[in-house]
Amino acid sequence: MDQQKLSELIDTFFVCDKRQIAEIFNEFLSAMEAEERLAPGGLMSRNYETAQANPEIHTLPGNLKDARDSVFPFFWGTDGWYSKLHLENVKGPANYASLIGALACLLKNPNLCVDTYCLRSNELEVKAITSLANLVFYHTESPWGVFTMGGTISNLYGGKIGIEKVVPGAMQSGIGGVKLAGVVSQAAHYSNATLAGWLGMGTDQLHAVPVDRSMAMDLSQLEAKLDQLYQSDHRVAFVIATFGSTDAFGIDDIEGIRQIIQAKAQQYSQPVPQLHVDGAVGWVTCFLNEYDCQANPFQLADSTLPLIQKNQRLAQKIKFADSITIDFHKMGWGHYPASAFIVNRREDLRYLFRTTEDMPYFSEADYRHDPALFTLECSRPGLGPYSVMASLNGIGLTGYQMLVANAMELAHELKMRLEQLDYCKVLNWDTAGPSVVWWVLPKGRNAQEIFDRMERGELSADEFATYRHEIHRMFEKRDAMKDRAQDARLSYTSSMGYQPHGLDIPAWKAVFFNPKTDRAVVDGIIQSLENLV
């Protein structure tokens, strides 16, 4: 071995050169600052064929600037969603307190599987999980949980606990010939089908209960579905309630669901299903649980206060759930991945426990603080707790209340403005969140009248297909006409979840996840609609 060359290699890549690292990081910050002055999206074209055809690896050792050069073109071509015009979906910009936390994490690079791999970072995870648990469960005695790689995996944890409850020992012996079932709403995220498939239940055994116009699960139909499943010898492993659907921000009545699943399980002498809440999108309204609407310290509009009060009533029902999924990288404005799976009662994690004999690699693991004994993942990054605690303590409870309330206020303002246009129809008027879904039809159409006829079942499939086509055509027309530097970027869904008479309802969508978005953007949306014809 050439010791001089080896020493040079080690000095270049394993000895911290603060000056050079800071210089390179500053170059990335300067590039990002320049990008923010450009119109959002589409900064550079993508060429996947070229990427696959040129998977080069340098032959000789280089330096940190070679590392920078290899990723910089792709960094420049990636939109950070910092523009106030980004309203497409449930994604916002990462906040800079989170960046501080993420950088601290990356410098140490902890693995949260066992204490010996992460030391105090594991302690930080416990602190972050407890902080979030007290927020969403509105105070709880013995919470615990873990950060995962995304909301789908967090939901999978809830589903797996449910299976273990109704088929004890399934982790070791499998589910055998047991007929399992899971229940969600029609507005639930598609990831629930993913977990049903990956857990071996099969997607055909995931049953969707219709929602009402407020996008909440119809409780009478939930009762009927449970009767049907229990009478056909199914074991219902879980019911997953939605707290903030991805399109329309629908929220299920968690207390009502709890009462029904307990009563039906008792009636049929079955174990009570796991009541898991997919709160990946909507959990942030819990910041407003203790906002004083009477004093109204933020001077919110009178029309906004009833929305806050409604969300307070709904959010405080999360305490009736067994577990919840939280995506802090959505409206917590943290860095990916910052999803968490949290149980209301620590003892529920016993359904997932393994012994150290099962995992001799971690023979030193202690169930009191080493998540590897119950997690799906072995290697887990520490970005979640670092991002969460830096953000929560940088922005603070009042800061988050301001940000969430502002998003709700802007969304409600857009709803009110849209309702004044005959050719538009707001589809989620009864939900109180940062999302707006609506129709835009050609001028001369009465959107409210068409919607009413659809709900009454008076539209034929062909007639409704015509309206669907018009709604989509109007969206494409605006998209083609918009000024990328001034007009908000909206999105389109082919089905918002509410399905009267079996009809999938399409919708335009605006999501107020970016704190920079202001009333001028709302004005611009309305003006762009009036300019369509």
Mark whether 66 and 139 lie in a shared domain: no
pLDDT tier at 358 (50, 70, 90 boundaries)?
low
pLDDT reported for residue 175: 87
pLDDT reported for residue 116: 81
Mark whether 276 and 365 lie in a shared domain: yes
pLDDT reported for residue 42: 62
Burial class of residue 176 in the structure, from the number of CB atoms within 10 Å of its CB (0-12 exposed, 13-18 middle, 19+ buried): exposed
pLDDT reported for residue 38: 82
Report the domain count for the chain: 2
Q: Note whether residue 411 is domain-resident.
A: no
For 82-127, how does the pLDDT look when each residue is reduced to its tens digit (9 = 90+)?
999 999 999 999 999 999 999 999 999 998 888 788 888 988 999 9
Mark whether 177 and 51 lie in a shared domain: no
Confidence check: pLDDT of 43 > 60: no
- Last-in-domain residue among 348, 382, 416: 382
Mark whether 172 and 302 lie in a shared domain: yes
Mark whether 210 and 296 lie in a shared domain: yes
Q: Note whether residue 50 is domain-resident.
A: yes
Q: Note whether residue 523 is domain-resident.
A: no
Mark whether 57 and 150 lie in a shared domain: no
- What's the CA gap between 299 and 293, in Å, rounded? 9
Mark whether 214 and 346 lie in a shared domain: yes
* CATH number of the domain that residue 186 is part of: 3.40.640.10
Confidence check: pLDDT of 78 > 80: yes
Q: Note whether residue 445 is domain-resident.
A: no
Range of the domain at 11: 3-75
- What's the CA gap between 373 and 371, in Å, rounded? 5
- What's the CA gap between 154 and 37, in Å, rounded? 36
Mark whether 299 and 240 lie in a shared domain: yes
Mean pLDDT of 251-267: 97
pLDDT reported for residue 45: 65
Mark whether 272 and 206 lie in a shared domain: yes
Q: Note whether residue 278 is domain-resident.
A: yes
Cα torsion 394, 396, 398, 402: sign: positive
**What's the pTM value of the predicted model, to 2 decimals?**
0.94
Mark whether 356 and 238 lie in a shared domain: yes
Q: At how many degrees (to 10) do helices 461-481 and 519-530 cross?
A: 120
pLDDT tier at 322 (50, 70, 90 boundaries)?
very high
Q: Note whether residue 462 is domain-resident.
A: no
| Distances from the Cα of 93 to the Cα of 25, 332, 412, 511, angstroms | 19, 10, 21, 13
- Last-in-domain residue among 56, 75, 94: 75
pLDDT reported for residue 60: 87
Mean pLDDT of 385-407: 96
Q: Note whether residue 113 is domain-resident.
A: no
Q: Note whether residue 205 is domain-resident.
A: yes
Confidence check: pLDDT of 47 > 90: no
- Last-in-domain residue among 39, 58, 75: 75
Phi, psi (degrees; rounded to nearest 5) at 478:
-65, -40
- What's the CA gap between 251 and 213, in Å, rounded? 11
pLDDT reported for residue 361: 66
pLDDT reported for residue 56: 81
For 22-33, how does the pLDDT look when each residue is reduced to its tens digit (9 = 90+)?
999 999 999 998
Mark whether 131 and 69 lie in a shared domain: no
DSSP H helices in 199-339:
219-231, 254-267, 305-315
The lowest-confidence range among 144-158, 167-181, 346-360 is 346-360
Mark whether 142 and 237 lie in a shared domain: yes
